[in-house]
Structure 1
Amino acid sequence: MAPDTSTQIHNIGYRSYEGSRLGRAYARTSLYSQSLRGSYGLGRSAKSKVLPMILFGVMCVPALIMVAVAIAVPGNTDLPIKYTTYALTTQVIIGLYLASQAPQSVSRDLRFKTVPLYFSRPIERVDYVLAKFAAMASALFILTAVPLLIMFIGALLAKFDFAHQAKGFGQGLVSVLLLSLLFAGLGLVMAALTPRRGFGVAAVIGMLIIPFGAVTTVQAVAYNTGSTDAIQWMGLFSPITLIDGVQTAFLGGASAFPGGEGPTAGIGFVYLLVVLGLIAGSYAALMARYRKAGL
């Protein structure tokens, strides 16, 4: 009688892992690095690189032009635009970048339900949120700080006063750091509300445009009616006017408010508290969002 071969045991060579286990810190750093690279299309398809690289180039072009003019034209003693004014002047480009990259950072994980796969590794919800938040803020900081660096180097080549330029450059860096943290938090919250990237793009654009349009309209009405006190308080209701108010009050910036008068130091402190509160609130909202998404 032939032996029964219907049940067999095969040795397919599984071996236990004997390498080092790098743990949560390495996983968090890897997710941060991958997310930051993805914000500029690095490690992705060529099509994914086009828009972020174009926007980065457009951000740098005005700085390069100002530097060329400062060096070529004799008699200049300063750059035509303050370091703290540059980000406000190019806010449309910053908004387009955030609207295109914030959904890319979080919406795909939600749409394809890959978030639980992250949490199956030695990584917690706080690690995921922290890595995504830090990566988006870093991407925005690169976008906004590199033009300031170009301006600073150009000012030194033009032999402008070093102390004055260094002070302005430092103030500009603080301003764009706050802007990057604020915009990153708000942008990621809006993008994480929906797994659809298109809806996320629209939500981020609406978050930036609608409050800014409403605030500037009301400020213009208040200015024309002589209600100048209301102008300062209305600036609390839009992300970009919040940054405008903080840098006007503490960083020597020139205000874009009607009449050119930004908030006083006292009201500026309220602006700073609101900015910090929104950054912390955005982080808390993302933590709450991924408590459900991680199931």
Structure 2
Amino acid sequence: MTTQSVNQADRKLWLAAIKPPMYSVAIMPMVVGSAIAYAETGQFDSGIFALFLLAAVLILAWENLSNDVFDSETGIDVNKAHSVVNLTRNRRLVFALANLCLGLGIAGIVAIALAQQDPTVLAIVLLCCGLGYMYQGPPFRLGYQGLGEVLCFFSFGPLAMGAAYYSQTQSWSWGSQMAGVMVGLTTTLVLFCSHFHQVDDDIAAGKRSPIVRLGTKRGAALIPWTCGLVFAIAALGLLLGLFPIWTALVFGSLLSAWRLSRHVTRYHDQPQRVFNAKFFAIGFHSWSGVLLSLGFWLSAYGG
């Protein structure tokens, strides 16, 4: 093997470890929540938005890196070549970097709270961080009990959406919370789909993920229903007048939902082919979020 091919392999492993597409789950609640705030109130502070967005990315980096550290302690990542801990072989360094990201992210939220003289957003974000720690961190490790998806739904859905909306308006909105449920469901699908290819490793480490509990076939059967629920909530929002007519654009993500459902249904029991299911889920998450936020922005400009 040549030096060039080794370097390319290393770059691929590092890209897989950093997981750039996964940061959509931190970005999307900020984008959608701010779009709803502008559509409903006409308020949008670009400085607050940019600072919150950066803080959200840093906090997600903390969660990803710390989860690698916690997973290295249980041995569940022994076959995961793209674990940051396995790549660096320095658990303490990775943990220190994770905590640095957390500190910087929280500092950004503190700056928002001080500027607005309102601790509400900080309180919500700290709650989300607490749920994020309970996912993999000792002594809780709730992800090992199959509860990770529940924590993910609330952290990246209603709570994150509420924080994004509140940071712009210092108020609450039923429309933003309904959209938060949609984003929470699509984010949860990303985590849910990440389990299909690692059932054996999960079982060996004692992790009772939803796919371990349900089996891959029944787990795959849930995906079309969850996608359908996202669109049903969108239709309900339109029917109740909580979503403007432009948000019907979200139905343009039906193709992504179909591709995700088809892929996992077809390959649910083939780890070498279903390993990328989470990226299909990210596609659905991103397209639905972008189209939903675009609908709110257009409603603000076009009526």
TM-score by length of 2: 0.34
Query: Considering only CA atoms, is the larger Rg found in Structure 1 or Structure 2?
Result: 1
TM-score by length of 1: 0.35
Give the helix-richer structure, 1 or 2: 2
